[in-house]
Amino acid sequence: MGRAGFPKKPNQVQKAQINIPLNQLNDIVCSECGEKLFFQVFAMKALPALYSPNGKAGTVNVVAGVACAVCGAIGKVKETKPNTEGNGDGDGEDKV
């Protein structure tokens, strides 16, 4: 608190820190092959010199979605239930 009981910065927002156990969250997997790893996919757009801040033609990258790291399927994902069984170490992998 600042002087006279007022906050130091009235526009400052405090962020809450939450610890979420990742092994309890649902996985997003490829609906084609079931893989959990993805690449971010970009679309490229041509930027005419008229719209460019430096007056030269160029390109703009636009995030278009994700592609499966194994089969390459683009945007085909589904949610699965978390693995709540296992060795309890929280890494999401079961050891046999």
Instruction: For residue 30, count CB atoms less than 10 angstroms from its CB and return exposed for 0-12, middle for 13-18, buried for 19 or more.
Output: buried
pLDDT at 88: 47
pLDDT tens, 43-74? 999 999 999 999 999 999 999 999 999 999 99
2-20 residue pLDDT tens: 556 555 666 777 788 888 8
- Domain regions of the chain by residue span: 25-80
Q: Are 67 and 37 in contact (CB under 8 A)?
A: no
- Under DSSP, the state recorded for 5 is G
User: Which positions ≥6 away from 79 have C-beta within 8 Å?
Assistant: 26, 27, 28, 29
Stated pTM of the model: 0.54
Q: Which residue has the tokens 């994700």?
A: 66
State yes or no: pLDDT of 82 exceeds 70: no
